[in-house]
């Protein structure tokens, strides 16, 4: 067997292990914080999209008297004395909103998509297709999230409500404009409560530098550093240093230097274990003095 390590070395190893564990906990905490911050941001975007979609659905259709450049699509057209008006249903209005928002977005982009999409521009990617499948297999699932190619992806389900059945129930009941534009074979046959699709939100992931900047409060960092420093100094000066001193004093006494002074607080006035150890050595020293005196008297 090798030589047993000193308490000082053992403490150093335990201290380094503690640092590693604290660092690991700090890393896990940062990762959790990152996901929470990104999820909150994605949820806020999804809330706004769903609210906008519900508003359009509540009106039945939004009518505009002018088609903006680049947004010439519409579902229905009405000729009035005030000019032509063009109708945009919830799906179309939301798609145009996503196109406009995604062009100017600094961070979050979104798309309303489904496995039964009617527009090629709404075709889901791999993450979105899997999210739709998961929501359909588990209606109680609130959201699906994950990291894909450096981005945070978030999806929330959109459920069929009674008002949706007009365009997604039986094809026979659908408005003629819907049949004319999309045909009678796609995105029909839904019932109330079915998963129609998802709101998909994409955010650039927060880097480690960004995470550290969130937590780079000098007061917090200073307190953590001070805590470790205090722990290290206390152990070194109050425990290790006194144990070394006790070892040296006990060794000197064992070699016959009975005049070696022992500086400690009486156990009656101290609960310090090292003071008790000193007291035990002092009792041993007194016993050795008595024995030596008796030997000399003989």
> Structural domain of residue 183, as residue ranges?
42-204
130-147: average pLDDT: 95
Domain count, the chain: 2
Domain boundary among 204, 226, 247: 204
Greater confidence (7 vs 127) lies with: 127
Q: What value does the mean pLDDT take over residues 169-183?
A: 88
Q: Which residue has the higher pLDDT, 9 or 119?
A: 119
Residues 133 and 234 in one domain: no
Task: Name the burial class of residue 144, with classes exposed (0-12), middle (13-18) and buried (19+) by CB atoms within 10 angstroms of its CB.
Answer: buried
pLDDT for the residue 212: 66
Query: Do 164 and 263 fall within a single domain?
Result: no
pLDDT given for residue 214 in this prediction = 61
Same domain, 82 and 134: yes
Which residue, 139, 169, 204, sits at the end of a domain? 204
182 and 266 share one domain: no
Token pair, residue 109, equals 């982009």
Same domain? 196 vs 251: no
144 or 235, higher pLDDT: 144
Give domain status of residue 61, yes or no: yes
State residue 216's pLDDT score: 65
pLDDT of residue 142: 95
* pLDDT confidence band for 215 (50 / 70 / 90): low
Residue 179 lies in a domain: yes
Asked if residue 184 has pLDDT above 80, the reply is yes
Tell me, what's the pLDDT at 298? 66
Residue 210 lies inside a defined structural domain of this protein: no
Q: Tell me what pLDDT residue 205 has.
A: 85
Instruction: Tell me the average pLDDT across 88-114.
Output: 89
Sequential DSSP letters for 75-141: SEEEEETTEEEEEE-HHHHHHHHHHHHHHH-SS-EEEEE-TT-SSGGG---HHHHHHHHHHHH-TT-
Question: Coil, strand, or helix at residue 157?
Answer: strand
Q: Which of 171, 204, 237 delimits the end of a domain?
A: 204
Residue 30 lies in a domain: no
pLDDT at 26: 78
- Residue 222 pLDDT grade (very low, low, confident, very high; cuts 50, 70, 90): confident
* pLDDT for the residue numbered 203: 94
Give me the mean pLDDT over the 154-183 stretch. 90
Q: pLDDT tens, 1-58?
A: 567 677 777 777 887 888 888 878 877 887 888 889 899 999 999 999 999 988 988 8
Inside any domain, residue 91: yes
């Amino acid at each position: 067997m090798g030589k047993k390590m000193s308490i000082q070395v053992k403490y150093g190893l335990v201290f380094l292990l503690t640092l590693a564990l604290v660092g690991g906990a700090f890393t896990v905490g940062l990762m959790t914080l990152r996901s929470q911050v990104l999820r909150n941001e994605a949820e806020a975007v999804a809330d706004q999209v769903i609210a906008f979609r519900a508003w359009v659905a509540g009106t039945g259709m939004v009518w505009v008297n002018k088609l903006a450049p680049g947004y010439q699509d519409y579902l229905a057209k009405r000729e009035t004395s005030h000019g032509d008006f063009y109708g945009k249903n919830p799906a179309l209005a939301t798609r145009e909103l996503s196109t406009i928002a995604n062009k100017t977005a600094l961070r979050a982009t979104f798309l309303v998509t489904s496995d039964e999409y009617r527009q090629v521009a709404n075709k889901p990617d791999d993450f979105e297709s899997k999210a739709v499948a998961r929501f359909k297999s588990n209606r109680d699932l609130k959201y699906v999230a994950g990291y894909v190619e450096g981005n945070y992806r978030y999806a929330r389900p959109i459920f069929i409500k009674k008002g949706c059945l007009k365009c997604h129930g039986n094809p026979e009941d659908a408005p003629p404009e819907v049949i004319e534009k999309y045909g009678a074979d796609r995105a029909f046959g839904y019932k109330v409560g079915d998963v129609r699709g998802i709101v998909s939100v994409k955010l650039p992931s927060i880097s480690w530098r960004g995470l550290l900047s969130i937590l780079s409060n000098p007061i917090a960092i200073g307190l953590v550093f001070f805590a470790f420093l205090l722990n290290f100094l206390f152990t070194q000066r109050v425990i290790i240093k006194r144990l070394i001193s006790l070892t040296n004093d006990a060794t000197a006494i064992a070699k016959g230097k009975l005049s070696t002074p022992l500086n400690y607080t009486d156990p009656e006035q101290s609960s310090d274990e090292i003071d008790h150890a000193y007291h035990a050595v002092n009792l041993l020293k007194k016993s050795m003095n008595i024995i030596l005196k008796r030997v000399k008297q003989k």
